[in-house]
Structure 1
């Protein structure tokens, strides 16, 4: 295994070191900037533990080898870019550059831990590319306090600042989109069982929190709240899952509430409550949904387009041969609640009796 020496470029991520001249010695903690003093750049690095710790200067780094780091040196090859980014705008470009590199590297490491292994290499490459662009742009921004006011070109500097700002916004925008794409990919890889279990953990925590409050109200540990409101809100949240046909979640929710009832002198929710009928509601909804999804789509043509009963997506869709005029489109959205779907290339709304009646009035179709 290659020996890595402690250097100024890797010190910010090093946590344990060992003497170079004594490879069998016990590793000791290393604290980068472990002791701060007043003023910019006034800090000391510490080595050792507790009362045995001491200050170590950068020129002493070469006598120590790295044993442990907090994360890999993802951006170590951008050290010079970080330094030059602040050469014309800071009187301490090495310190400011080191600060930024440290912050970006920690952010990058945290991002990489959230994503699958197969996506990390591409994300790392794109991150470094964007950051390089940011620092290259920042390197063209100057400060009159550094360069001197004589002959300072404020107009050119303003353009450089705007370009740098745009690079930063593009970088942050890319990162936000990339992390959302990662989450979407991770979600797509989950099984139905995993999704159900994750949802149940949230529902269970919600039930336990609400049940605890209700129990505390019953026993006098809490006052000033409406017990009935807590029960009503809990019922409303669970009934939402029932209306969506989520049988597994509703059944487990009811079972969890029964567990609370069994251990409390006064039931959290009595068995007479409509909540205990929700599993039947959920099963009926699921059965109806399964029957609907299996139905074959129905199409009804009209002059200039067609109406589609899309049972699989639970949508009533209107497709036109040509784009309607603006006034008609606004009326279709405002008065009849049809919305444009870019994915389906159709105007649509949920497939209900009201939707059918709305389409019949809008298109003046008696046979719909």
Structure 2
């Protein structure tokens, strides 16, 4: 079990293996606990990086950053322990001497060291993932994509209103001193920008800045609308001659399952239309969206058994679903309704 230190998770380092590795490759004595100390120092630096990144990004990304940090701590421990085990397999020629030196075993050890180094580089790559978390785009594959886009939209709209308020303040006062919407540091930066040669408009935020931000607002709104519609309407799978297509909403994939391996022509058609073979699920697949359906329209090998195209099938099913939901209660046949007078009114039976 890993030990905890604040929010940083440490995993065990095999000190015995580290000591044997030292003895196999050096005349100097092993300092007890030094391997664990080195490991924890690396994890502490990663934890500091994670905290800096969390301070920069929206709180919705904090859990992912913590998971990446824990993965880094675990995989680094595994990599170091494996490295110690490899180093302890065969002694250095300086320790063992040249007589009857196991050259073949040493070659295998060196090959294992190379693989271990490649794994170490992959572990260090997790630090780059921590640095980039929350800084890039939002994938439709993300189950929280709509929530993240809504948060991004709120931030963009807030920025738009702030820029407009600052411009209005400057237009009225011809100075940014005392502007309640921005800090002193921002005021100084805006004033410096206005004094530069490329700033042609007499306002802190030029028209292009508001226009670009507004365009991004529209783009994010369109993505939210598209993902919301796709989530509400959904997609349907179908059967075809030789297999089936599934709309896997959980994994956000349109998946094609063939009863037998498709021929080379079919495989080339699948690849050219964005489908890739996924051995883990035994299917050809691509991201589940309207573009995937349009791509499926081009593939005769997976045409629905009904004879319609995949996009026609989606439209028909959606219309049928809407009809089922909105169909009103049947009105009784008036010929089967007996009207009797009761309490001055009409009562139906």
**Shorter-chain TM-score tier:** 0.3 to 0.5
| Structure 2 length-normalised TM | 0.47
| Structure 1 length-normalised TM | 0.45
Higher percent of residues as strand: 1
- Larger RCO (alpha carbons 8 Å, 6+ apart): 2
